Structure 1
């Protein structure tokens, strides 16, 4: 039986997830929530969905049993909390919550609703090519360091340059380069190497106090991971994981399309698999399995939840280091 899916947020990533959900055969879009009815209807029409809501309570009472949330970061907490209170499974886009205090409150609420599953939609760590990276890292004799790069000119940066404050570049919405783009390589680094011992963040501030780009350093016992990201430029540099003489090169740490291993002799070994047409399909299938088979997947689910919480803490620590405060922190 397919899960009855509701969505919050009507941007391109929501459309991509709905398409992936339908392709998986595990979900059917049932309801759309939007602050503006016209926007919601416009999104729903291609999917032949009539149930469009501007009231969150009515939306959660519409018969859905899983919600995908891709609204601004700052409103995730209240929307997720309401979903859990209605015993609805949650798939929430990165960054899931503004700070560890919000995350702790959600975990406490989950304890009161043991049948509800919460997932952070870090699609790249679910993809086949990321599994290839994990396997190769496990085989490398020594990890000497890593550099992950993800700089992508935002479609909203022109709006910022024109004197406006788009949501994705505003502390008011718990946003900025770190929580919008940096979360991708940070998720990858923590999934591959575990929680760092120390963190440092050298942020380049925008005029509104948010970060437009930055360099984060995650310090482990005997190596560092340097992460460079930003929303006001395009970088075409690959990411690298260094061994001694061997190196793992990743073409794009967020899309994970190209993975090449250079052995001790410098010979190149192409490790990439052909990606799925929709990069969100794999996570949609995995989340459905964890909701359908909660006992068999309990350990894997707890691992994902713990990873998400660790990423949240590291993002917060990096912001603290750079002196970036969100209104949600107060």
Structure 2
């Protein structure tokens, strides 16, 4: 059994621990929080036996093999590096790091230390995404257009508009709509089509409360859209934290169109095959053909299983890890460009 500790006590960490309890190859043994009592109250009901309020102690612990990092984005790379120095494998919540440069440093350190570093991009590790990849490659014909979208209203928007500085809209935390929500759109696009030749983006931004006039990190994005150009195709990304997007994502090929939703964890796949009816300006198969793919109730089990297999040296899992590393780096490179065009900078960009 791979012995996991967690960094973080948020809702996503709760969901991870639930998935960990369903995994046959891993178990929860430890939890970290800056407050030791909080680490204990989070971990004890979930079966943990070791509790930490020191990252150094966690990194040195002989009771822990791997660490799930689910702290604010700005802390992902520094904390992952500390765990790697301690010989721990790391599964890092998205976004993996503040920017491509930081991510590359983490992957290089993991490789040098002989441990596995993987981004917890749950929507790429599911059976449904594997099905999406196969359909895009073999059933749609040449792809010309694709749209990946995910927007969801956050209750914290009211606090931001009221003048409160909060983590999810704070450049110091490497946060904002793109890093929190848009990443669910960027990474599938990169996984399906690779790194684009051109990135063009527009964003809705806000000045962060409490920033000094000369602060270079005073803007944060609330919503945005980006076009990724590949020469033979264009991929559109739409994301935000100010509204609810109710449309599915889709990939449009010359022979068929594939739709799925939600983007953050696809479960409803539909294939619309093109029917040549001449100048009929409608899709004849209006409902499409639903494609059933078995899915676990908690899809984070999939990323845990892939991570455990890579740690155990499974050749297929190790090859997949190399591919996922490239997806992470190329996705962050795209997000770096989007943020640059939006005027959103993080402290990690300035070093």
TM bracket, shorter-chain basis: over 0.9
Contact 2:150–2:182 (8 Å) recurs in 1? yes
Q: C-alpha displacement at 1:245, in angstroms?
A: 5.5
Match of residue 332 from structure 2: 312
Structure 2 counterpart SS, 1:144: strand
Q: C-alpha displacement at 1:157, in angstroms?
A: 2.2
Query: Counterparts of 1:281-320 in structure 2 under 5 Å?
Result: 281-293=301-313, 295=315, 297-320=317-340
The whole-number CA distance in structure 2 between the counterparts of 1:260 and 1:295 is 32
Contact 1:199–1:318 (8 Å) recurs in 2? yes
Match of residue 153 from structure 2: 153
Residue number among 223, 242, 262 corresponding to 1:232 in the alignment: 242
Match of residue 292 from structure 2: 272
**Higher mean C-alpha displacement, 100-109 vs 229-238:** 100-109
Structure 1 counterpart SS, 2:266: coil
Query: Counterparts of 1:57-206 in structure 2 under 5 Å?
Result: 57-62=56-61, 63-113=63-113, 115-139=114-138, 140-206=140-206
Q: C-alpha displacement at 1:169, in angstroms?
A: 1.2
The whole-number CA distance in structure 2 between the counterparts of 1:234 and 1:296 is 38
Q: C-alpha displacement at 1:105, in angstroms?
A: 2.1
Match of residue 259 from structure 1: 269
Compared CA separation, residues 69 and 205, structure 1 to 2 (3 A): same
Q: How many aligned positions are there? A: 328
The whole-number CA distance in structure 2 between the counterparts of 1:93 and 1:155 is 22
Q: C-alpha displacement at 1:297, in angstroms?
A: 3.6
Superposition RMSD in Å: 1.5
Structure 2 counterpart SS, 1:150: strand
Q: C-alpha displacement at 1:50, in angstroms?
A: 3.7
The whole-number CA distance in structure 2 between the counterparts of 1:192 and 1:315 is 16
Q: C-alpha displacement at 1:295, in angstroms?
A: 4.8
**TM-score when normalising by structure 1:** 0.95
- 5+ long unaligned stretches in structure 1: none
Q: C-alpha displacement at 1:154, in angstroms?
A: 1.8
The whole-number CA distance in structure 2 between the counterparts of 1:107 and 1:23 is 28
The whole-number CA distance in structure 2 between the counterparts of 1:269 and 1:108 is 44
Structure 2 counterpart SS, 1:49: coil
Structure 2 counterpart SS, 1:256: coil
Q: C-alpha displacement at 1:155, in angstroms?
A: 3.5
**Higher mean C-alpha displacement, 166-175 vs 241-250:** 241-250
1:27-63 CA-to-partner distances (Å, cap 9, x unmatched) read: 1111111112232222113113242211111122222
The whole-number CA distance in structure 1 between the counterparts of 2:132 and 2:107 is 30
Contact 2:64–2:88 (8 Å) recurs in 1? yes
Contact 1:126–1:282 (8 Å) recurs in 2? yes
Structure 1 counterpart SS, 2:254: coil
Match of residue 6 from structure 1: 5
Structure 2 counterpart SS, 1:134: helix
**Higher mean C-alpha displacement, 293-302 vs 219-228:** 293-302
**TM-score when normalising by structure 2:** 0.90
The whole-number CA distance in structure 1 between the counterparts of 2:252 and 2:137 is 13
Q: C-alpha displacement at 1:162, in angstroms?
A: 2.8
Match of residue 259 from structure 2: 249
Q: Rg: which structure is higher?
A: 2
- 5+ long unaligned stretches in structure 2: 209-218, 276-283
The whole-number CA distance in structure 1 between the counterparts of 2:142 and 2:52 is 53
1:323 equivalenced with 2:333 (yes/no)? no
**Higher mean C-alpha displacement, 291-300 vs 73-82:** 291-300
Contact 1:132–1:272 (8 Å) recurs in 2? no
